[in-house]
Structure 1
C-alpha cells in the first residue's frame, strides 16, 4: 500500500498567501493528494503493470485501487487484498513487486498434504497447460487434484474422483498419476497407446523471482514529478472558491 502525503510549505504559492487564505490549506491538501492518487499515480502504475507483467489478466489490471484523502489521513493506492473467491492480487503480485523466493501455491500445498510431493519441492507446469495469460486455469488444476484424490472438499461438495459412474466417465482417476518417468518426477497424464506426458514436473528448491514491477518506486517517482503541481493547482482553486 502506498500512502501519500504532501508538504504544503514546499509549495511556492504557500509562501505568498495571506493568513486568511491559509485557512484553505487543509482543503487544498486533501484535494491535491486525492487527485495525485486517482489521476496520476493509479493510472501511471496501471500503465507500467501492463508493460512489465507477463500477460496480466483483466482481473489483475482491475485490482488497483485509489482511496481519496481526508483531513485526518492521506490518499492511498493499493492492490485489492480481499476477494470473494480465489487469491487476491495483493497476495499473488508480491513476487513481482518485491522479488525473492516463491511460496507454495494452493495446488502444491494440496499435493504435499496428501503425500504426493515433498515439502521442499515445487511443481512446474508443462507449457501446454498454460492459458492465454500464462496461467493454469483453476478448472484444470481441480481436475488434476480430483484425479489424484487431493482435491479439497468444501461445503459438503466432494471434488475427488470416486467409483461412481459419473466420475468414471470423466476419467480423471485413470488419467493422472504421480510418479517418476525416466529422470523426471511429477504429475503425469496417460495418453493413448500407453504414452504418458508430463503435466507438472517437480523441482527441488523454491523458484527465485526478480523484481519486475517496483510498485512503491513507481508511485514515489510519480508523486515527486507531479506532487507540487497538483498542490499548487489545488491551493489556487481553494483560494478562488473560498467563501
Structure 2
C-alpha cells in the first residue's frame, strides 16, 4: 500500500537560479536527497510506533518501507509493508489505526464465526482470563486450544457428551475447558469462557468478550508525520547532496 511519494518541490527547492555546473548535477542531488529523506522518515515512523502503540511487535515497528528514487524516477515512495511471512501484513491491520474506523476481523475471529461460535457482525476482545504475550495479544497456543475444543459448540449446555465427565473434571483442574455464551446469561456477557476448578469449587473466567464495536480512533498520523519530516529534512539533504556532487565534479575537472 503506497502512502507517500517523496519528490522534489519545484516551487521551493528548484525555484532559484542554478549555475551550469549545478544544473548538470541536479538530477543526482535530487535522487540522493529523496532517498536520504525517505530513510529518515522510515526511521521516524519506527520510533513513533514505540510511543503510539502498546508493546508493538517488530513487524509493526518495521512496517514503514520505502522504494528508492533512481535516475529515471526522481522520487521515493513510502508505504506500509503489504506482506508478511507469517500472519497478517501491517498494511491491513494498521489501516484502522491510520484512518480510524472499524478494524478488520482477525483470523481467529473468522474461524470462530465459521464454527458457529461467534455471531456474525461481532468482534472478540481479550477478557480478564486471557493469556497475553509480551505484545499484549492473546497467546496463539490458547487461541488454538479454544478453536480445537469449541468445534461447532454454541454454549456450555450443548454437546456435553463429547467428553467424559472424568476427563472434563481433569481438564478443569489444569485449566483449559472452554465454552461459548452467545447471549448474555446472568453476569456472563457473550463471549468465550474458561471453566476452572478452584479450592472453592468450579469457576469461570472470560477469555474473549464479543462486541459489535471494535473501532479505532486515528492515532498514527503517518501522512502528517511524513509531511513534517519532508519539510524539515528535504531542503537540508538537497543542499548537502548538491554540494557533494559539485565538489566531486570539480575534483574530476568539470567546470
TM range (shorter): 0.7 to 0.9
Deviation at 1:171, TM superposition (A): 5.1
Local SS of the residue matching 2:204 = strand
* CA distance in structure 2 between the partners assigned to 1:103 and 1:81 by the alignment: 15
**Structure index of larger Rg:** 2
Contact 1:102 1:206 in 2 (8 A): no
RMSD of aligned Cα (Å): 2.6
Deviation at 1:9, TM superposition (A): 5.4
Deviation at 1:16, TM superposition (A): 4.3
1:28 to 2:50 alignment: no
1:191 to 2:196 alignment: yes
Contact 1:24 1:235 in 2 (8 A): yes
* CA distance in structure 1 between the partners assigned to 2:12 and 2:58 by the alignment: 39
Cα deviations by residue, 1:143-177 (Å, 9 ceiling, x for unpaired): 11111127xxxxxxxxxxx98xxx99x959x7111
Deviation at 1:67, TM superposition (A): 2.6
Quote the residue 1:121 is aligned against.
122
Q: TM-score, normalised by structure 2?
A: 0.79
Local SS of the residue matching 1:196 = strand
Local SS of the residue matching 2:232 = helix
Deviation at 1:52, TM superposition (A): 1.1
- Per the alignment, do residues 28 and 137 of structure 1 end up closer, same or farther by CA in structure 2, a change over 3 Å counting? same
Query: Could you list the runs of 5+ residues in structure 1 that have no partner in the other structure?
Result: 151-161
* CA distance in structure 2 between the partners assigned to 1:149 and 1:117 by the alignment: 11
Contact 2:46 2:64 in 1 (8 A): yes
Quote the residue 2:83 is aligned against.
82
Q: TM-score, normalised by structure 1?
A: 0.82
1:37-76 equivalence runs, <5 A: 37-38=38-39, 40-73=40-73, 74-76=75-77
- In proportion to residue count, which structure has more helix? 1
Local SS of the residue matching 1:212 = coil
* CA distance in structure 2 between the partners assigned to 1:28 and 1:212 by the alignment: 34
Query: Could you list the runs of 5+ residues in structure 2 that have no partner in the other structure?
Result: 153-161
* CA distance in structure 2 between the partners assigned to 1:227 and 1:181 by the alignment: 60
1:235 to 2:242 alignment: yes
Contact 1:176 1:187 in 2 (8 A): yes
Local SS of the residue matching 2:20 = coil
Local SS of the residue matching 1:117 = coil
1:182 to 2:186 alignment: yes
Contact 2:63 2:90 in 1 (8 A): yes
* CA distance in structure 2 between the partners assigned to 1:128 and 1:44 by the alignment: 36
Local SS of the residue matching 1:194 = strand
Cα deviations by residue, 1:158-204 (Å, 9 ceiling, x for unpaired): xxxx98xxx99x959x711112542412111110132221111112x
Quote the residue 2:215 is aligned against.
208
Local SS of the residue matching 1:198 = strand
Contact 1:100 1:210 in 2 (8 A): yes
Task: Determine which structure has greater relative contact order: mean sequence separation of CA pairs < 8 Å that are 6+ residues apart, divided by chain length.
Answer: 1
